[in-house]
Amino acid sequence: MHKKLLAAALLLLSFSCAFGCTSIGLHPNLTEKDGKIFGSVLVECDWNALAGVKVAVTVPSGETQTLVTSETGDIYIEGGEKGAYFFSVEVAEGNSNEAKVVLRGKAGITVIRDENTYFVCGEANQVEIIDNGTLYIVPAKGGCGTYTTKSDSFTVRAGGTEKKAGKMLFIEAPAEAIAGTQFTVRVLDNSRPVAGATAKILETEKTTDALGLAVFSVEKAGSFEISAELGGMAAEKKTITVLEKKKEFDVSFPEEVFPGEVFIVNVSCAGEPVQGAVVEFRKQSKPTNSEGDAFFSAQAKGAFEVFVQKENFEQFSSTVECVALEQPALELMFPSEITEGDALEALVLSGGEPVEGAKVSFNGLEKETDSSGKAVFIAPQAGSYNVVAQKEGFASGEKTASVNKPASEPLTNEAILFLSLLVFVFFICLGGAIHFFRKWRSLR
């Protein structure tokens, strides 16, 4: 289903630039379809598109990419993150034009503050605001609406998610990091990155850049508070746990599976399920759920690698064997010789038990076995015929049927007596005829 793009494009002051433009504009056009985000951003100078311009793009996760405009002045983005996208193009040394696009979705709520007015976007036709214990309903056209308050803080609810908002700074940072490695802290005014804020961990202070980012490294393990402030506005402190070394997964899955069988890869650590670990199997990547499970299906025979990875964990790899499925065989039973016109009763068994619903083929005819495993045919003219039994999930069975002509029957006692009487009568008649003939000749 198409989800309309809700964009708030903020075109700032115009500057003189190396391109000789009196103004430069950014025109984002992102949308969502089939779970993917895609689209382009046009860089325009005095109503003419600019090719070869570097544009910095910060995606909702905080990662920054540098893209170059095409001949038509576009940059193209394709990804899967919902939230706020920030675009920046330098127009003069030290100055830049910026634009922001809010792409709404179930991933969360976006809040942009302008003094006491808040632009709120969520996955719903209305946004709920809890302000000083009072519930306010904000109509959200296309998922976005505005709310004005003098309160320092309030809560926003939309689309089943909840977010704190207000006149304060917010800190985004990983829950865990490894001692001696770098990690990024992001400072925001609600959903807008804050440049020039002071972020602090232990005795180390850093100033956030234009994207609200500051990079830290802590050399010792433990739990530490992160703070941030700008112009008297402070952020709620956040805690980060610094680990001495990367954690290790406990991964379980069957050693052998059959083609088409669905199997589970379970990921845990220290007895607790690991959610959000990425499991790869045969070019399929799936995140583990809250139980630490990811589901896969093997479609071909062979040995295949299973990879598991997540930030702050050692990568795991092992092999799962997809083996051929040994199907139970069907066995056909009937007399080895049958006479023309007699009934051929085919019995289908597997493991000594009758098989119902097996298809039995004989002399161009096909019948299904009944609950007793039987299928009955009438034997055709004499000859040899193949009888085949088949059923899904079983190896087929085959047997040859020999059909014979009816054999000559021996004479019964009654038939012998009748023939003897017939011969006796014949000879009496013959003797009488001869006697009559002789008498007739003597009279002549």
Instruction: Answer yes or no: do 161 and 175 share one domain.
Output: no
Supply angle C-alpha 125, 130, 134, rounded to 5.
115
Instruction: Answer yes or no: do 256 and 202 share one domain.
Output: no
Over residues 436-441, the mean pLDDT reads 72
Scanning the structure block, which residue is given the tokens 């009072």?
134
Does residue 7 fall inside a structural domain? no
Model confidence at 2, in pLDDT bands (50, 70, 90)? Answer: very low
Q: What is the pTM of this model?
A: 0.50
Of 322, 351, 375, which closes a domain?
Answer: 322
Count the domains in the chain: 5
Instruction: Answer yes or no: do 263 and 220 share one domain.
Output: no
Model confidence at 297, in pLDDT bands (50, 70, 90)? Answer: confident
CATH number, domain with residue 189: 2.60.40.1930
Does residue 303 fall inside a structural domain? yes
Instruction: Answer yes or no: do 215 and 272 share one domain.
Output: no
Model confidence at 4, in pLDDT bands (50, 70, 90)? Answer: very low
Instruction: Answer yes or no: do 63 and 127 share one domain.
Output: no
Average pLDDT, the chain: 81
Does residue 57 fall inside a structural domain? yes
Instruction: Answer yes or no: do 261 and 308 share one domain.
Output: yes
Domain coverage including residue 194: 169-243
CB atoms within 10 A of CB 177: 22
42 has a pLDDT exceeding 80:
no
Does residue 398 fall inside a structural domain? yes
Does residue 432 fall inside a structural domain? no
Instruction: Answer yes or no: do 88 and 147 share one domain.
Output: no
Which of 73-87, 240-254, 267-281, 331-345 has the weakest average pLDDT?
73-87
For residues 354 and 397, the answer to whether their CB atoms sit within 8 Å is no
Instruction: Answer yes or no: do 81 and 118 share one domain.
Output: no
Query: What percentage of the chain has pLDDT greater than the value 70?
Result: 77
Does residue 212 fall inside a structural domain? yes
Instruction: Answer yes or no: do 345 and 302 share one domain.
Output: no
Does residue 66 fall inside a structural domain? yes
Instruction: Answer yes or no: do 175 and 239 share one domain.
Output: yes
Does residue 130 fall inside a structural domain? yes
Instruction: Answer yes or no: do 34 and 92 share one domain.
Output: yes
Instruction: Answer yes or no: do 343 and 364 share one domain.
Output: yes
